[in-house]
Amino acid sequence: MKKTLSVLLAVFMILTMLGGTVVMAEETAPVEIYTPEDLLKMADDPDGSFILMADLDMTGIAWKALDFSGTLDGNGHAILNLTLTQMGDLKPNSCDGNKKLYETAYFGLFGTLVNAEVKNLKLINVRARVDIDEPCFIGGLAGYAENATITDCTVVGTLELRAFDRMFGVGGVVGYGSGKVKNCTVDVTLITTDTDAKTKDEQFLGGVYATGFMDVRNCNVTIDGYTSEHGYVHNGGIVGMYMEYPLGVGKKGYVTGNHVEGRITFFENNDDRRAYCKAFVGEALVDYYILDDNTQNFQKEEWKDFTEELRPEMCAIPEYTESVIAGNCNTYGYTQYTCEICGYSYRDHYTLFTHTVSVWTEQKAATLETEGLELGYCDGCGIEQTRAIPVIESEPETEPATTAPETEPQETVKPQNTPKKQNHLPLIIAIVIVVGCSVALVILLVQESKRKRRRKKKTGKYNR
CATH 2.160.20 residue ranges in the chain?
31-312
The H or E element spanning position 190 is: strand 185-194
Average pLDDT over residues 367-377: 91
φ, ψ at 25 (rounded to 5°): -65, -40
d(CA 252, CA 235): 22
Quick one: pLDDT at residue 7?
A: 45
**pTM, rounded to two decimals:** 0.78
Average pLDDT over residues 63-84: 98
The DSSP code for 308 is: S
- What's the full length of the chain, in residues? 464
Contacts of 283 by beta carbon, 8 Å cutoff, 6+ apart = 97, 234, 236, 240, 241, 242, 274, 276
Quick one: pLDDT at residue 404?
A: 47
Bridge-partner residues for 278, per DSSP?
Answer: 236
CATH architecture of 31-312: 3 Solenoid (2.160)
The DSSP code for 245 is: S
Quick one: pLDDT at residue 288?
A: 79
Burial-class residue 277 by CB neighbours within 10 Å (0-12, 13-18, 19+): buried
Exposure string of 83-110, with b = 16+ CB inside 10 Å and e = fewer, is bbeebbeebbebbbbeeeebebbbbbbb
Average pLDDT over residues 328-345: 93
Contacts of 304 by beta carbon, 8 Å cutoff, 6+ apart = 267
pLDDT, greater one: 291 or 4:
291
| Residue from 36, 105, 111, 30 nearest 68 by CA | 111
pLDDT digits (tens, 9 = 90+) for 88-101: 999 999 998 888 99
Quick one: pLDDT at residue 159?
A: 98
The DSSP code for 402 is: G
pLDDT digits (tens, 9 = 90+) for 173-224: 999 999 999 999 999 999 999 999 998 999 999 999 999 999 999 999 999 9
Largest CA distance in the chain: 123
Residue type for position 2: K
The answer, yes or no, to whether residue 86 has pLDDT greater than 80, is yes
Give percent of the chain above pLDDT 70.
80
- Asked whether 298 and 279 are in contact (CB, 8 A), the reply is yes
91, 356, 418 from 371: Cα distances, Å: 47, 21, 18
